């Protein structure tokens, strides 16, 4: 199984019928609503594994609060980062900075955290459940009290979305929106807890990739099935 090309992966956004394109439309709409409701003044935004920044930058195009947004997009792939910079320049989003770096570490975000909006889109589907839970805890420090996290996650079995919402609740977040079952999940949680200190230099997660995770699950499932067959064959002999 080859390495995922994360620059080519973005091409699916250009297909209006793709799941990614439909997900992007929902994310942009939710981000725009958050900007609409934001108090006057600067709006600080952080984007984790930002890719080409199509979610935030698409929401900013033509938005009356575009000039109030000060954003940091952290992306490891330099090609995606350059595409995001070009997009920001094209729409006049002068307050958007794109950083090529490891988005899994807390350090890059210290310059702007705690933020009014934190985007974790296209992230959770590429992490182990343990890392998702850990990341949600860090999001409570990346986000100011009253701030909002927008996240996405596929609903392939086992559907982790209900558990994910529980993890947000355990960390002081209140659910404001989540797409219904049967659709790729887009969630919006508002942080209603107390301010938390962002631990510098902490690793929030290891980005594994959905394809690798699926392969691991397949191998583990087949191993369990094989073990079950072996036990079934051994039982008559034991009797």
* pLDDT number for residue 79: 96
Q: Name the pLDDT band for 158 (thresholds 50, 70, 90).
A: confident
CATH no. for 8-208? 3.40.50.150
CB-CB contact of 88 with 57 (8 Å): yes
Q: Is the pLDDT of residue 208 over 80?
A: yes
The pLDDT score that the predictor gives to residue 231 is 72
Percent of the chain whose predicted confidence (pLDDT) is above 70:
85
| pLDDT tens digits, 116-131 | 999 999 999 999 999 9
Tell me the average pLDDT across 67-92: 97
The predicted pLDDT at position 217 comes to 60
117's enclosing H/E stretch is strand 115-120
Question: Per-residue pLDDT averaged across 75-96, rounded?
Answer: 97
Of the two residues 7 and 224, the one the predictor is more confident about is 7
Helix (H) or strand (E) holding 212: helix 210-238
Sign of the torsion angle spanned by Cα atoms 99, 39, 116, 126: negative
Please check the confidence at residue 1 and state whether its pLDDT lies above 50.
no
The pLDDT of residue 160 is: 95
The answer to whether residue 220 scores a pLDDT higher than 60 is no
Average pLDDT of the chain to the nearest whole number: 90
Rounded Cα–Cα distance for residues 182 and 42 (Å):
37
The answer to whether residue 60 scores a pLDDT higher than 90 is yes
pLDDT digits (tens, 9 = 90+) for 191-204: 999 999 999 999 99
Q: How far apart are CA 102 and CA 118, in angstroms?
A: 16
Average of pLDDT values for 132-152?
A: 98
pLDDT of residue 36: 98
Asked whether the beta carbons of 93 and 86 are under 8 A apart, the reply is: no
pLDDT recorded at residue 222? 54
pTM: 0.87
Region of 146 on the Ramachandran plot (φ > 0 left; ψ -120 to 50 alpha; else beta): left
Domain ranges of the chain: 8-208, 209-239
Is residue 175 within 8 Å of 169, Cβ to Cβ? Answer: yes
Label residue 61 exposed, middle or buried (CB < 10 Å: 0-12, 13-18, 19+).
Answer: middle
- The whole-number pLDDT of residue 216 equals 56
Among 35-39, 164-168, 208-212, name the one with the lowest average pLDDT: 208-212
């Amino acid at each position: 199984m080859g390495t995922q090309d994360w620059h080519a992966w973005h091409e699916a956004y250009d297909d209006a019928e793709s799941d990614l394109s439909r997900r992007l439309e929902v994310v942009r709409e939710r981000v725009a609503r958050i900007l609409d409701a934001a108090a006057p003044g600067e709006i600080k935004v952080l984007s984790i594994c930002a890719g080409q920044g199509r979610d935030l930058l698409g929401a900013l195009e033509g938005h009356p609060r575009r000039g109030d947004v000060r954003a940091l997009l952290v992306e490891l792939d330099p090609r995606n980062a350059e595409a995001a910079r070009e997009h920001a320049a094209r729409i006049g989003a002068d307050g958007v900075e794109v950083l090529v770096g490891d988005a899994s570490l807390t350090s890059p975000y210290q310059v702007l955290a705690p933020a009014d909006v934190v985007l974790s889109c296209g992230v959770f589907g590429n992490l182990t459940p343990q890392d998702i839970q850990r990341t949600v805890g860090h999001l409570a420090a990346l986000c100011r009290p009253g701030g909002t996290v927008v996240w996405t996650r596929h609903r392939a079995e086992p559907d982790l979305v209900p558990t994910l919402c529980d993890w947000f609740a355990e960390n002081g977040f209140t659910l404001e929106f989540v797409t219904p079952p049967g659709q790729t999940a887009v969630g919006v949680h508002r942080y209603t807890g107390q301010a938390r200190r962002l631990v510098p230099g902490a690793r929030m997660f290891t980005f594994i990739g959905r394809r690798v995770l699926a392969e691991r699950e397949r191998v583990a499932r087949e191993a369990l099935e094989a073990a079950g067959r072996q036990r079934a064959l051994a039982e008559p002999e034991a009797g």
